[in-house]
Structure 1
């Protein structure tokens, strides 16, 4: 089968032919239709992601496809079931084997490209804002990187939870995408004073930050007392240092969020969250924003779209 594979620690990843995998006990084998790209894939290529597997491995964290084989002792999902899976790796391939308990059956009307763009982005935002930050109706939510893969979903989810959403992104087109997703106020990260504008709007009660760097610092200084800050990632390349004395003065809380980690220590939080999100999707309340759909042969182009921040929403690779 074809796969975007890293054959050795010192070898680059590329699309190549590798053996068809066999499902082990408790696993399913998927015929993969689509795989969503994530910023973590770029970190994994450089060995900088917290869950980078040892080479050889196939990249691709979240997939959608059809169950076509079951491992020994695996009771389901049944062969032929359409599912989405957060596997952490193995998704940028024509076939992949994953633990059966990670498979989420899809609504009949959900296209595979939507499903491959759904789990991590919506799951992260819903778990972060609901389970971690306890976002309340009427609070002001500041979303940094608001036109990215997770940022747009934070705008949507925050709005559905009743917050006033302040979206921060770079450039007119990306801000327009955030506005369409439900943002009440827009800040251009390239030209505007984030701190001054947020404070003029009444300050932030919750900050959702996949960017880090200078934007984190500006948001931090625009927080209201008892605000909650959610570091989601560091797309700027700069992990900010958090002054504990400032947390003390304003009674602030910093709440780390690593969505995939819940699979190990609290999978029920994930499954409960995904159940709500899939109900919202079926009701037409949320819809993944996929800016680019590319074939497997163009996976490098897709990764470059993330690297250069040229995409809005998600980039999806089809097989």
Structure 2
């Protein structure tokens, strides 16, 4: 089979190679799928660089989520059958940027019938992260204002749609006019271009001076600092990641004086501590997709041969929306 592999760490364009490798075999509790679609995620860029919290042994294939068709079952697998269309997270070091991938049964879910292969492939990490952030960690309420940084990115775009589905007013922060237009298509009530607009002033103006009740921050750095200046009384800042490259050093006295909460989310930990919560979330996401309340908005559908360039552009910050590779 063909698979993109990283033999040494570095930027995706420099280290990814499309190679012919031995076909995989599912072990006990695993299933093998023919990859139908695999989206680009920022963790894939970090994996190539060696900067992700998970560091698979070299060589490895990135691609942390996918939609696939089951072609073989390992011993003990009873939730799925050959021919089923599924989504979820492949087992590294054999990721989704390949013709075949192996998945643990616990990390595999039925693909929603309401979504095509590319859309379904993007329903796992981003939407699970967004749902846990907004419903389990911050308890976003109808009528509240949600501020989403990097709102045209993978997890940010999911948070915009999930915020609207929850009845919130959503402000999306993006960088550039193309991303602003994409964010409007997602349904954001207000879109702020950080390159040309003052985020703090725009949020305060939109909220009548109150500020944002919940801030969804996958960026860190300056985005976090600006969030602390426009957070509402009893507001919640949910820390998702640090795509901006700088980990903030929060002033806890400021959180005390302004009476807001700083909350962290590491979605992957729920696999170890509360798998049932992930299963329940998938049921809810499937329901929302069937109702049309959420739908991954795919901006580029690319061939497997374009993985290195697509991930490179994602790492450069020049992509708009979700990129999905379809072997």
Question: TM-score when scaled to structure 1?
Answer: 0.95
Contact (CA 8 Å) 1:9, 1:54: kept in 2 or not? no
1:22 counterpart SS class: coil
Are residues 1:108 and 2:113 paired?
A: yes
Matches of 2:256 and 2:147 in 1, distance apart? 21
1:170 to 171, 175, 180: 175
Instruction: Tell me what 2:21 maps to.
Output: 18
* Contact 2:16–2:308 (CA under 8 A) maintained in structure 1: no
- Which secondary structure state, in structure 2, belongs to the residue aligned with residue 271 of structure 1? helix
Tell me the residue number matched to 1:152: 157
**How much has 1:278 moved relative to structure 2?**
0.9
Say which SS state the counterpart of residue 233 (structure 1) adopts. coil
Gaps of 5+ in 2: none
| Contact 1:9-1:56 within 8 A present in 2 as well | no
- Helix, strand or coil for the counterpart of 2:264? coil
> 2:3 maps to what in 1?
3
Could you tell me how far apart the structure 1 residues matched to 2:243 and 2:321 are? 14
For 1:72 and 1:23, how far apart are their aligned partners in 2? 8
Partner secondary structure for residue 245 of structure 1: helix
> Could you say what the CA RMSD is over the residues aligned between the two structures, in angstroms?
1.6
Name segments (4+ residues, structure 1) moved above 6 Å.
none
Q: Structure 1: which 5+ runs fail to align?
A: none
Q: Report if aligned partners of 1:292, 1:311 keep a CA contact under 8 Å in 2.
A: no
CA distance in 1, matches of 2:214, 2:113: 35
Alpha carbons 2:179, 2:321 under 8 Å: kept:
no
Structure 1 residues 73 and 65, CA gap change in structure 2 (3 angstroms)? same
Question: Which stretch has the larger CA shift, 230-239 or 126-135?
Answer: 230-239
Mapping for residues 191-210 of structure 1, pairs under 5 Å: 191-200=196-205, 201=207, 202-210=210-218
- Count matched residues: 319
Residues 28-69 of structure 1: CA deviation (Å, up to 9, x unaligned): 011111111100111111111011212222111001111111
Mapping for residues 169-248 of structure 1, pairs under 5 Å: 169-200=174-205, 201=207, 202-248=210-256
Answer yes or no: is the 8 Å Cα contact 2:147–2:172 preserved in 1.
yes
